[in-house]
Structure 1
Amino acid sequence: MRRFHCDVCENEVFFDSVSCERCSSKLGYMLSLDDVLVEGGDAAADAGLRRCGNAELAGCTWLTAQPGGLCESCQLTRTRPSDADAKGLRLFPIAEESKRHLVRDLTRLGFATRPEESGEPATVGQAPVFDLLSSVSESVTIGHANGVITIDLAEGDDSYREQVRQRLAEPYRTMLGHFRHESGHYYEWQLVEQTDRIDEARELFGDERADYQAEIDRHYDQGPPEGWQRDYLSSYATMHPYEDFAETWAHYLHIQDTLETAVAFELLPAPEPGASARDVVLDSWMPFATAMNVVNRSLGQRDLYPFVLPDTVIEKLAFIHSLREPSSIPA
Structure 2
Amino acid sequence: MRLYECGNCGTPVHFDNRVCINCGSRLGFLPEAMAMQAVMPAGDDLWRVSSRQEGDVRFCANAAHDICNWLISVNDEHTYCQACRYNRMVPVTDNPEGLARWQKIGQAQRHLFYSLLRWNLPRPGRDVDPQGGLVFDFLADEVDSYGNLVPAMTGHEDGLISLRAAEADDATRESVRVSMNEPYRTLIGHFRHEIGHFYWGQLVRDDQTLNEARSLFGDERADYAEALRRNYEQGPPADWQTRFISTYASTHPAEDFAECWAHFFHIVDALETAHSFGLSTEPRRHEGMAAEVDFDPYRATDAQTLVDAWIPLSVALNSIQRSMGQPDSYPFVLSPPVVQKLDFINRLIRRAGAGYSQ
- Mark yes or no: TM-score above 0.5: yes
Alignment partners' CA distance in 2, 1:44 and 1:61: 19
1:63 matches 2:63: no
Alignment partners' CA distance in 1, 2:352 and 2:99: 40
Question: Residue 226 of structure 1 corresponds to which residue in structure 2?
Answer: 238
1:270 matches 2:293: yes
1:111 matches 2:134: no
Among residues 157, 173, 177, which one is paired with 2:189 in the alignment? 177
The one-letter amino acid paired with 1:32 is: E
Alignment partners' CA distance in 1, 2:352 and 2:85: 26
The one-letter amino acid paired with 2:141 is: S
Alignment partners' CA distance in 1, 2:91 and 2:244: 36
CA-to-aligned-CA distance 1:7-36 (integer Å, 9 cap, x gap): 111111110111000111111001111111
Deviation at 1:218, TM superposition (A): 1.0
Change (3 A) 1:136 1:310: same
Deviation at 1:304, TM superposition (A): 0.9
Alignment partners' CA distance in 2, 1:113 and 1:129: 10
Among residues 241, 248, 256, which one is paired with 2:253 in the alignment? 241
| 8 Å CA contact retained: 2:300, 2:306 | no
Structure with max Cα Rg:
2
Pick which of 279-288 and 228-237 moved more.
279-288
The one-letter amino acid paired with 1:49 is: V
- RMSD after superposition: 2.4
Please list every run of 5 or more consecutive structure 2 residues that lacks an aligned counterpart in the other structure.
41-48, 144-149, 281-291
Change (3 A) 1:257 1:164: same
1:314 matches 2:319: no
CA-to-aligned-CA distance 1:17-59 (integer Å, 9 cap, x gap): 1100011111100111111111223347723211111112361
Question: Residue 288 of structure 2 corresponds to which residue in structure 1?
Answer: none
Change (3 A) 1:142 1:25: same
CA-to-aligned-CA distance 1:246-296 (integer Å, 9 cap, x gap): 000000000000000001100033355886524323420111111111111
Change (3 A) 1:63 1:291: same
| 8 Å CA contact retained: 1:271, 1:280 | no
CA-to-aligned-CA distance 1:287-314 (integer Å, 9 cap, x gap): 1111111111111211110000110000
**Secondary structure of the residue that 2:227 maps to in structure 1?**
helix
1:50 matches 2:58: yes
| 8 Å CA contact retained: 1:49, 1:64 | yes
Alignment partners' CA distance in 2, 1:67 and 1:21: 32
**Secondary structure of the residue that 2:346 maps to in structure 1?**
helix
Among residues 149, 154, 159, which one is paired with 1:147 in the alignment? 159
1:287 matches 2:295: no
CA-to-aligned-CA distance 1:190-238 (integer Å, 9 cap, x gap): 1014664111000000000001111111111111011111100110001
TM-score (norm. length: structure 2): 0.84
Alignment partners' CA distance in 1, 2:131 and 2:55: 29
| 8 Å CA contact retained: 1:28, 1:62 | yes
- Among all aligned residue pairs of Structure 1 and Structure 2, give the percentage whose two residues are the same amino acid: 39
Alignment partners' CA distance in 2, 1:18 and 1:58: 9
Where has structure 1 moved over 6 Å in runs of 4 or more?
none
Question: Residue 12 of structure 2 corresponds to which residue in structure 1?
Answer: 12
The one-letter amino acid paired with 2:38 is: V
TM-score (norm. length: structure 1): 0.91
Alignment partners' CA distance in 2, 1:87 and 1:122: 34
The one-letter amino acid paired with 1:305 is: Y
The one-letter amino acid paired with 2:105 is: A
Change (3 A) 1:23 1:86: closer
Pick which of 298-307 and 267-276 moved more.
267-276
**Secondary structure of the residue that 2:185 maps to in structure 1?**
coil
The one-letter amino acid paired with 2:59 is: R
Pairs within 5 Å for 1:29-108: 29-40=29-40, 41-43=49-51, 46-57=54-65, 59-65=67-73, 66=76, 69-82=79-92, 87-108=97-118
CA-to-aligned-CA distance 1:156-177 (integer Å, 9 cap, x gap): 0001111110000000000000
Deviation at 1:124, TM superposition (A): 4.2
Deviation at 1:139, TM superposition (A): 3.2
Aligned length: 326
Pairs within 5 Å for 1:134-213: 134-137=140-143, 138-193=150-205, 196-213=208-225
Among residues 263, 266, 269, which one is paired with 1:254 in the alignment? 266
- Of Structure 1 and Structure 2, the greater strand share is in 2
1:130 matches 2:153: no
**Secondary structure of the residue that 1:185 maps to in structure 2?**
helix
Alignment partners' CA distance in 1, 2:128 and 2:27: 25
Question: Residue 325 of structure 1 corresponds to which residue in structure 2?
Answer: 350
Pick which of 224-233 and 76-85 moved more.
76-85
Deviation at 1:83, TM superposition (A): 5.8
| 8 Å CA contact retained: 1:184, 1:250 | yes
